[in-house]
């Protein structure tokens, strides 16, 4: 036995992803790196795309949506500063990959997806991979998940022209939200939103490109 084979190759590719795409670009929180090493990203893409699963770019998952670039997932996760037991709302479940990373950090994850086929596929993945800390909902993400609020952390995996007011309202005191904001995919800025002493503080962190956050309310 030489320890080689498809599973070993994928594991090595995942390790290279973390080392060369994530650590090398400044993500350093040990818990985040550990989660990125553990979650099998190749199980969150279509079979034909498995050879590209650990490359440094987003991949299509159907219905005009994508699984985010690994570095962006790690960067946003680190910005959230998730601790075990945190209640985390994710807007835009997509493939379920980001939710799995958050669950690996010990968070209780509430994730909302508006596209029914993606929601159903993500739910099946969560069941198959036994991510028991992830709850899914098919709904308009701009509304959040009011019956489960407040949330310690909110992560939005799609961009819109402004920060939806319902999401700000569902942040706990001292809560954090990471969200891309911009009028189009080519003019989005990743923002860190914090509640502190009754105030809402927004910090702009750099340019990103996300699919559109589409909803019927909350704008």
- Residue 13 is among the residues annotated as catalytic for this protein: no
Q: Of these residues, 4, 28, 68, 187, which one is catalytic?
A: 68
Task: Count how many residues are written for the chain.
Answer: 219
* β-bridge partners, 181: 160, 189
Contact 122/99 with Cβ under 8 angstroms? Answer: yes
Contacts of 14 (CB under 8 A, 6+ apart): 36, 37, 40, 41, 54
CA dist 73 and 71 (Å) reads 5
CA dist 42 and 30 (Å) reads 22
CA dist 34 and 196 (Å) reads 29
The CA distances from residue 104 to 28, 75, 85, 130, in Å, are 16, 15, 11, 11
CA dist 86 and 153 (Å) reads 7
Q: Give the residue from 137, 169, 178, 164 showing the smallest Cα distance to 150.
A: 169
DSSP annotation of 56 reads: S
Residues designated as active site: 68
């Amino acid at each position: 036995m030489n320890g080689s084979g498809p599973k070993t190759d994928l594991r090595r590719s995942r390790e290279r992803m973390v080392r060369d795409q994530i650590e090398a670009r400044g993500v350093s929180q040990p818990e985040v790196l550990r989660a990125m090493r553990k979650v099998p990203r190749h199980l969150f893409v279509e079979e034909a795309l498995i050879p590209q699963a650990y490359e440094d770019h987003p991949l299509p998952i159907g219905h005009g949506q994508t699984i985010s670039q690994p570095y962006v997932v790690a960067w946003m996760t680190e910005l959230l500063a998730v601790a075990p037991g945190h209640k985390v709302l994710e807007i835009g479940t997509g493939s379920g990959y980001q939710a799995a990373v958050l669950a690996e950090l010990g968070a209780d994850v509430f994730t909302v997806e508006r596209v029914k086929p993606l929601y159903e596929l993500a739910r099946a993945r969560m069941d198959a991979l036994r991510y028991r800390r992830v709850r899914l909902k098919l709904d308009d993400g701009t509304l959040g998940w009011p019956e489960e609020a407040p949330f310690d952390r909110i992560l939005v995996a799609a961009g819109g022209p402004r920060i939806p007011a319902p999401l700000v309202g569902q942040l706990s005191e001292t809560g954090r939200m990471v969200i891309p904001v911009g009028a189009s995919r080519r003019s989005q800025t990743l923002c860190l939103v914090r509640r502190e002493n009754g105030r809402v503080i927004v910090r702009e962190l750099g340019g990103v490109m996300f699919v559109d956050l589409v909803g019927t309310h909350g704008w």
